[in-house]
Amino acid sequence: MSTEDVLIHRHGAVGHISLNRPKALHALTLDMCHAMSAALSEWAEDDGIEAVILDHAEGRGFCAGGDINLLRNSALHDGGVSGRKFFHDEYQLNHQMMTYPKPIAVFMDGITMGGGVGIALPCRFRVATENTRFAMPETGIGLFPDVGGGWHLSRLPGRLGQFLALTGARLDGAECLWAGIATHYLPSEMIADAKARIIEKPGRIAGILAEMPGTPPKARIEDNADKIARHFRSDRYEDILASLEADDSDWAQKERDTLGTKSPQTCKVALRQLATSALMDDFADNMAMEYRIASRVLLRPDFAEGVRAVIVDKTNDPKWDPATPEEVGDDLLDSIFAPLPPEEEWKPL
């Protein structure tokens, strides 16, 4: 599988995957997922490959997400068939990377959101820079933090994952390092040198990244960590809203206002998703759960409406259905999380 949207190289004992769709901030298409998966499969069996580098070829994003236009068109025109295919195969790539036998070093130099998070966080070495902008903004378009988000976010400290899942807040590179989302921080001008050193000595990635000078600024979110832990501690969405409402600080009101723009349905989905994933010990089980959710949420009214309001028309006036958290009952959530028919369930590669 090859596509001009992904550049696949080999430098001696290092495989190199560069996302190359700059006009779309390297958002993932199905062909890109297939090309990456094929390369990784080949290198996994190749004793001559010791490590993999993942980055982007040019432009300011690492990867802005997945193919939202395909997903919306699928929701509106083919009953979700092509959208489910995209989710299924993208999730296979996420799982393949999460269980990959060789180290992958990803350079998150720029926008790293949605589908970009799904291919970055499974990597053993995750390098942030001053350009990193990390977010899972899906609740703003009636989607949910998928691509393994349930697994990754639920394992962040101090309810930070729940905060990120609900609000879609953006973290910079220093904040990613502080939170454990990134393993290393480098100034962007040092990335080329880091890659060259890894190519020269692929068995020493940890040492190379640790030796390179790069001191991040103070993580701004650290100042709000106590507030996040306190206000977002419940798995009941209504409790979180009430906690923020009762706090008249500027920070609490800002976050409450932010949540007022999100889909109540997918905020509740995200909280249940993270709570369920936190109890799992196999990433494949998480991806099977997220595929069930995706298959249903894709066809719920909020997704097509959210994409219309935020991305297509840019009016930022989505009409959510259900309109309030109280109207999103357990029966609806149960139906979204319910098993699929056995032949339709997600399976790893």
What is the enclosing helix (H) or strand (E) of 29? none
CA angle 116, 119, 122 (to 5 degrees): 135
Q: Which of 237, 270, 272 is nearest to 256 (CA)?
A: 237
**Which ranges constitute the DSSP H helices of the chain?**
30-44, 68-77, 81-98, 115-120, 149-154, 160-167, 173-179, 191-200, 205-211, 225-231, 237-245, 250-259, 264-277, 283-297, 301-307, 330-337
Under a CB-based contact definition with an 8 Å cutoff, are residues 106 and 124 in contact?
no
Q: How far apart are CA 349 and CA 346, in angstroms?
A: 10
Rounded to an integer, what distance in angstroms lies between the CA atom of residue 101 and that of residue 119? 15
Dihedral through CA 161, CA 115, CA 328, CA 251, nearest 10? 40
Q: Write down the residue that tokens 């066809």 correspond to.
A: 299
Geometric angle at alpha carbon 328, from 265 and 278, rounded to 5°: 60
Contact of 277 with 147, CB cutoff 8 Å: no
Residue 249 CB neighbours (<10 A): 10
Q: Which residues contact 257 (CB under 8 A, 6 or more apart)?
A: none
Q: Which residues does the annotation mark as catalytic? A: 66, 115, 138, 146
Strand 171-172 and strand 61-63: pairing? unpaired
